[in-house]
Amino acid sequence: MIGTASAGNHDYLRSLGAVPTTYGGGLPARVKELAPQGVDAALDTSGRGALPDLIEITGSPERVVTIADPQAGQYGVPYTSGRSGESRAWHALAVAAELWERGQFSMPVAQTFPLADGPQAHRLSEEGHVRGKLVLLVG
């Protein structure tokens, strides 16, 4: 598995078992160097214009999926936002809970906010450089 992140997050990617590389210009060449045999599939979680590169890397839009780029349709890439009406993998919650109990799953929290600071949390999320979840505290 290859993961993209800024250089400051490469150790974190390694801790997850991924081979790190930086995102941005030249990504297909960097991935080809890391995986000369090719890449089976790609998942876009950033929604920051990576789809053309990911299609080039995998060789087909059918081998790319995004949860973050609503422009996916113009590239023929499947898009799921988890919004109402889309299929959801509710069964995965039980699997995640079991993995959590065994110490094989973690959900890092980057920062917590009182509910009134929701707009600040949203702005931070939109910047796209948060490692972990932003949690709004209710009550």
Model confidence at 129: pLDDT above 90: no
Q: Give long-range contacts, CB 8 A cutoff, 24+ apart: 10-19.
A: 12/131
Question: Does residue 20 form part of some domain?
Answer: yes
What pLDDT, in 10s, does the model give residues 54-105?
Answer: 999 999 999 999 988 989 999 999 987 666 555 556 777 888 889 989 998 8
Whole-model pTM?
0.72
Question: What is the distance between the terminal CA atoms of the chain, rounded to a whole angstrom?
Answer: 40
Is residue 9 located within the same domain as residue 53?
A: yes
Q: Which of 75, 91, 123 is the last residue of a domain?
A: 75
Residues of the domain holding 120: 106-139
Going by their DSSP bridges, the two strands 19-21 and 2-4 should be labelled as parallel
Question: Does residue 101 form part of some domain?
Answer: no
Question: Does residue 61 form part of some domain?
Answer: yes
Rounded to whole angstroms, the maximal C-alpha distance in the chain is: 52
Confirm if 113 and 137 have CB atoms less than 8 A apart: yes
DSSP label at residue 27: H
pLDDT of the residue at 89: 64
For the chain, the domain total comes to 2
